[in-house]
Chains A and B, each alone.
Chain A
């Protein structure tokens, strides 16, 4: 089934000129399509270019080259229409007026977003505040709210005009577990129940793994991978193995399993790691035997997004300049794994 594209990014680049005279290539020839109705995770280390990309999609930063289309509207050439497609909460900043209360903020931003009917605006504001459990406190200045409540107001303000696309740059940054969970639940609801496209960036990879239908991993302004989350996990599943040994084995000493992480569990040693291209599971078993280790089991591990992320980033660092990353890796996979894409 061909899905409708909510965001189409084509050959997008941004080079900032720093005051020292150095050029920083924050985003480099990025091509990316986000399908409508999905939760899309945009991942990458600090400085990877996520915020810059999001700001270009919001028309706040002028690209050096390339285009962004929001539901088909070019952000630069059809600004007005494009802006009607999005609501955004940007990273590390207030986004709303702390001197005004939640209600006043929502009405203000609603009008800024071009809602001309006062009745409609008030109804939407009320609905959002009730859903976010802020209705009782709508008359208190946002500056007096907790961090979590402030973030909820910022999200509500981004949603006031009911835009089909929502961009959230680190929406759970600085939130406690409870507040973060509320925001996450709401993100899922937005996509699943209201058909909105949600793009989020985060450094909490477990959250991305749970929430996102698709993830894109960026490094140094370039895309390393862009896959449905499940597929990405699958792609790595066959390479991750868990080896269970009886007793406490000092991994530092014997060096049988290079690159494997060790942990202790009920008097057993559990090793988990990647079986490289030059080694098979049988080699693994063989090595353990010859080293005289007491092998209990070898089983395929469950890689998580975090491990894959680290792996991809490391690989990209190794192959700077080459076309590293996932595609190189995917070439080694059995055909069945890729054909799902």
Chain B
């Protein structure tokens, strides 16, 4: 529909303009994130990282990057907008709020993709890491991101009601880096931790993504071993629960007058 396209473009444009106004912070952050990857790889490999070891780590790391963006956009971003009153202005739109939320997510996705391409590209070039482009990876990647966004919606709903979830968002983001299997594969974790790690968003996605992209397994084979199925179920759960949590957050916020600052 016409309106949908306009809303998506509108949000992307807004995000780009605002990001551009913070460009120096952004460059610094990007540099930090790249540097962090090199640093962690260095430690994990006992000082001798090889491109072959780093490929699976980078795949996980770049996925984590999406999580950082999505979660901060939904928690910190929404919190800031309740304070500036722009969220209330958005809620006075005649368009359905679900469409605006979708617009937000697409804008965040679009911008993170740009950043990931930049950081990933530089790291791959500088460190000689090769991540092959495989079509079979696309649906797995899409499922992984969808699950992540579902989780971000969950955080968004919680932010509307409990203004203090920022700290939790940061904690979760950092926890994800260590538990999503980017650097420490989940198989090597103790059983209880593995179970917990696999229930977090993106862990399963990264696992399947590696099988498909790096180990060249077919979609059929990852479906048969159950890992893709688990990912699908997992994503569906996060999307539904996240969307539901967001709607709940909206309703409670309207009841308690929390869409704006109070």
A binds B: yes
- The answer to whether B85 touches A112, judged by C-beta atoms less than 8 angstroms apart, is no
Interface size class of A (residues with CB under 8 A): 35 or more
Interface size class of B (residues with CB under 8 A): 20 to 34
Q: Does B86 contact A (CB under 8 A)?
A: yes
Q: Which of A58, A113, A116, A157 contacts B88 (CB 8 A)?
A: A58
Most chain A CB inside 10 Å of its own CB: which residue of B2, B6, B7, B93: B93
Contacts A60-B257, A97-B84, A100-B14 given; does A114 touch B89 at CB 8 Å: no
- The answer to whether A94 touches B94, judged by C-beta atoms less than 8 angstroms apart, is no
- The answer to whether A112 touches B254, judged by C-beta atoms less than 8 angstroms apart, is no
- The answer to whether A86 touches B86, judged by C-beta atoms less than 8 angstroms apart, is no
Contacts A90-B85, A94-B86, A116-B6 given; does A59 touch B91 at CB 8 Å: yes
- The answer to whether B88 touches A81, judged by C-beta atoms less than 8 angstroms apart, is no
Write the B184-210 contact mask toward A (1 if CB under 8 angstroms, else 0).
Answer: 000000000000000000000000000
Q: Does A95 contact B (CB under 8 A)?
A: yes
CB distance from B13 to the nearest CB of A (A): 7
CB distance from A113 to the nearest CB of B (A): 6
- The answer to whether B92 touches A58, judged by C-beta atoms less than 8 angstroms apart, is yes
Distance between Cα atoms of A92 and B256 in the complex (Å): 18
Residues of chain B within 8 A of A16, CB atoms compared: 256-257
Distance between Cα atoms of A88 and B93 in the complex (Å): 11
- The answer to whether B92 touches A97, judged by C-beta atoms less than 8 angstroms apart, is no
- The answer to whether B93 touches A83, judged by C-beta atoms less than 8 angstroms apart, is yes
Q: Nearest residue in A to B85 (C-beta to C-beta)?
A: A93
Q: Does A111 contact B (CB under 8 A)?
A: yes
Q: Which of A84, A93, A104, A113 contacts B17 (CB 8 A)?
A: A104
Q: Does B260 contact A (CB under 8 A)?
A: yes
Q: Nearest residue in A to B89 (C-beta to C-beta)?
A: A95
CB distance from A169 to the nearest CB of B (A): 10
- The answer to whether B94 touches A83, judged by C-beta atoms less than 8 angstroms apart, is yes
Residues of chain A within 8 A of B94, CB atoms compared: 79-81, 83-84, 113-114
Q: Which of A79, A94, A99, A108 contacts B85 (CB 8 A)?
A: A94
Distance between Cα atoms of A17 and B257 in the complex (Å): 10
Can you list the 9 inter-chain pairs with the closest CB atoms, starting with the nearest? Answer: A93-B85, A83-B94, A62-B254, A80-B94, A111-B10, A94-B84, A99-B21, A112-B93, A95-B85
**9 interchain pairs, CB-CB under 8 A:** A52-B257, A55-B88, A58-B88, A60-B257, A94-B84, A95-B86, A104-B13, A108-B14, A116-B2
List chain B positions with a Cβ less than 8 A from chain A.
2-3, 6-7, 10, 13-14, 17-18, 21-22, 83-86, 88-96, 100, 251, 254-257, 259-261
